[in-house]
Amino acid sequence: MFQTFIASANTGTASPTRAGSSGGPGVRKGRWSKEEDTHIRRDQWRSKEEDTLLIRKGQWSEEEDTLLRKCINQYSPVKWSQVPKLAGLNRCRKSCRLRWVNYLDPSIKRGSFNEDEEDLIIRLHKLLGNRWSLIAGRLPGRTANDIKNYWNSHLSKRKVNVEQRILEPIRPKPVTLPQNWSWLRMKKQGEAEPIMETKVPDGEEHDQWLRMINDSKHDPENYYTLNDPMASNQHADFGFECVYGVGEEESNVDAILQGDGLLSDIKLWNDSEVE
């Protein structure tokens, strides 16, 4: 089915113009050409078992896609290390996995990102930085690779803009909140710049907010002191968990997203918006 090629025993390379990791004069470097790619060459990701094989690289053919789809559908859940063998593919496990998770998985959403998704990516990137898989986890049907590519090709162009609005990813840290509770202005400790603005919710959402705060009061892990922000004009020292919900980082993010209403009014802002 695939071309075979006898590799050099020393270098393991399939092309006479290529060498092993040590390289050397006259040796071609950089991306493998299409022509070279028709040869089957070594794969650095491979396991010991795979080491005995000559693994294909480069663009996937329709035939390979079909084999991989068939294999996953038939054997799922399956160990990726077994996929090449089961599928009859001369690809390494990692290549198979990547092809599936980034392209073949039927749950993957194709097409351009809409405004909502874009907005969500910006907000999540502000919170999480370049943790693409976490971000992808909150955009159904989108892969980490797609989001990363989209960020790098589209959103990073607006980086200057974004950076004016977002000073840094939010990290749990104690802050002092001002007396004006119609909105909260949080400041980075020791710095003057406010990093975000949000409104304290009212009505039922306010009750939810207070419950969350009260619950967290009794959590010995919390490092902040707490006053009821709506009950008085006192200052209160908070950790960001207080705003986002107490727990692991992920659940904090969930709190932001699920608590729409509680926190949907999170607003990125620049200096011109500061009172």
Partner DNA sequence: AACGCAATCAACCGCCTCAAA
Partner DNA sequence: ATTTGAGGCGGTTGATTGCGT
At 97, list the tokens.
Answer: 């996995």
Determine how many CB atoms are found less than 10 A away from the CB of residue 216.
19
CB 148, min distance to DNA, A:
6
Q: Which one of 27, 86, 122, 144 is in contact with DNA (CB under 7 A)? A: 144
| CA-only gyration radius of the chain, Å | 26
Residue with tokens 């393991």: 12
In terms of CB distance, is 48 or 218 closer to DNA? 48
Check residue 60 for interaction with DNA (CB under 7 A): yes
Contact track, DNA, 151-170, x by CB under 7 A: -xxx----------------
Q: Out of 32, 181, 240, 269, which residue is the one contacting DNA (CB under 7 A)?
A: 32
Question: Closest approach of Cβ 263 to DNA, in Å?
Answer: 23
- Distance CA(108)–CA(103), nearest Å, equals 7
Provide the terminal-to-terminal Cα distance of the chain, rounded to the nearest Å: 69
Query: Should residue 145 be labelled a site residue for DNA when binding is judged by CB under 7 A?
Result: yes
Span from 4-12, 100-108, 236-244, 246-254 in contact with DNA (CB under 7 A): 100-108
Q: Are 54 and 9 in contact (CB under 8 A)?
A: no
Name the β-bridge partners of 177: 236
As a whole number of angstroms, the distance between CA 80 and CA 156 comes to 33
Rounded CA-CA distance 56/91 in Å is 5
Site for DNA contains 132 (CB under 7 A): yes
Task: Confirm or reject binding of residue 89 to DNA (CB under 7 A).
Answer: no
Give the pair of three-digit tokens for residue 208: 């939810």
Q: Tell me the two tokens of residue 180.
A: 């004006």
69 binds DNA (CB under 7 A): no
Asked if 209 is part of the footprint of DNA (rule: CB under 7 A), the reply reads no
Applying CB under 7 A, which of residues 2, 5, 80, 240 lies at the interface with DNA? 80
**Which of the stretches 115-123, 127-135, 161-169, 256-264 binds DNA when contact is defined by CB under 7 A?**
127-135
Closest approach, Cβ 82 to DNA, in A, equals 7
- Per the CB < 8 A criterion, the answer to whether 64 and 40 are in contact is no
User: Is the peptide bond preceding residue 77 cis, with omega within 30 degrees of 0?
Assistant: yes
* 150 touches DNA (CB under 7 A): yes
Site of interaction with DNA (CB under 7 A): 29-34, 43-45, 47-49, 57-60, 79-81, 93-95, 97-99, 101-103, 130-134, 144-146, 148-150, 152-154
